[in-house]
Amino acid sequence: MTDHPTGVLASQQIEALVASGAIAMPEADAGQVQPASLDLRLGDVAYRVRASFLPGEGRRLVDRLPEFEMHRFALEGGAVLEKGCVYLVPLREGLALPGTLSAVANAKSSTGRLDLLTRTVTDGGTEFDRVPAGYHGPLYAEICPRSFSVLVRPGMRLNQIRFRAGRAALDDVELRALHAETPLVDGTPVIDGGLGFSVDLEAPDGLVGWRAKPHAGVVDLDRIGHYPPADFWEPVRAQGGTVVLDPGAFYILVSREAVAIPPTHAAEMAPYLAMVGEFRVHYAGFFDPGFGYGAPARGVLEVRCHEAPFALEHGQVVGRLVYERMSAVPRALYGEGIASNYQGQGLKLSKHFAAP
């Protein structure tokens, strides 16, 4: 296989991987190949497991599964994954990557906004969502609904995968140069290990976010724009630019800054850092080329508070975006005729909910 230029692979390069057999999959669904990633599809069976686990170096997941499996069931016709339980689902896609390509996976935006913890597992895996260069083997999704039980079916796309050749991430010097060439954020950028972003807690109408209700019903993931937000969410209103996060609660908030991803780059929300507070920001961390480009969009923040109540204040820096160079410019950018649900977004729930 021809080596790729350094960077994140674009849609047309992903399609070439499928054609070459480096990505093994049944015929692709419409829209499955995104500008800088491939959506992964659930297979036909799910395993309820007693705990999350990783196979470990040199071990296959199917060999470890009997240690953890409680029962298995078919997804055909629809099956409910219950809140608070852990499931493993074999995915329809597998990989036979060349030694020049690695991959990283993440939850899709709508998955993260439902507090549906979804991580990708490989044979021999010692980390979630990381696929080493040259990996040959199957892929699995570990799914743990945290706030709402969900109804799933075979072929649903809860997570996505990106492919990389070489070192793709920009360092801070390169990031400042990119911002000088193409503004990445409205206002003065905070660049330190990536592009910092802060939380907006001063909305004109007072609504700054949503908090998941603890005893809501089931969300059918095929139903778009269907559910009244009030059945699943409580509005969050700041007092003096401050919101006190409750331990164990899940919130949808929004960044103060509008961010832009130029066509030549992609971005990923960096992992949670404990020093910013007793909470985690983000489950879905991929930003595609073209996001917010020409149509300013703010980042939606999926926030879960941990052990202690935490006072989150307007303008507090809560995370950072790591920008990566693309190996090629995608044929189609985010929001350009590919039914992107969140282009030009502000504070917005997942696509399953009707407009408030």
Torsion over CA: 272, 276, 281, 284 (sign): negative
DSSP string, 325-353: EBSS--SS-TTSSS--SSTT-SS---TTB
- Whether 346 is covered by a domain: the verdict is no
Note whether 223 and 255 are same-domain residues: yes
Number of domains comprising the chain: 2
Give a yes or no: residue 221 inside a domain: yes
Alpha helices in the chain (DSSP H): 11-20, 61-68, 109-113, 172-181
Amino acid at 328: A
Structural domain range at position 191? 172-325
157, 38: one domain: yes
Q: Are residues 178 and 296 in the same domain?
A: yes
Q: Both 19 and 105 in a single domain?
A: yes
Please tell me whether residues 270 and 147 are part of one structural domain.
no
DSSP 10-58: PHHHHHHHHHHTSEE-SSPPTT-B-SS-EEEEB-SEEEEESS-----TT
Do both 30 and 121 map to the same domain?
yes
What is the per-residue pLDDT across 296-335, written as a single tens digit (0 to 9) for each? 788 889 998 888 899 999 999 888 899 999 999 999 887 6
Task: Assess whether 213 and 128 both reside in one domain.
Answer: no
Q: Answer yes or no: do 111 and 257 share one domain.
A: no
Residue 344 is predicted with a pLDDT of: 47
Query: Which amino acid is present at 44?
Result: D
Q: Final residue of a domain: which of 147, 165, 183? A: 165
Same domain, 130 and 191: no
Residue 345 lies in a domain: no
Calculate mean pLDDT across residues 235-249: 93
Q: Which residue would you say has higher pLDDT here, 315 or 356?
A: 315
The last residue of a domain, from among 145, 165, 185: 165
Single residue among 123, 142, 165 that ends a domain in this structure: 165
Regarding whether 297 and 256 lie in a shared domain, the answer is: yes
Residues 193 and 208 reside in one and the same domain: yes
CATH number at residue 313: 2.70.40.10
Q: With 80 as the cut, is the pLDDT of residue 121 above it?
A: yes
Greatest Cα pair distance in the chain: 58
Whose structure tokens read 């996060």? 245
Q: Which two tokens stand for residue 287?
A: 């930003």
Residues 111 and 134 in one domain: yes
Name the pTM for this structure. Answer: 0.93
In this prediction, residue 319 carries a pLDDT of 85
Q: Strand, coil or helix: what is 273?
A: coil
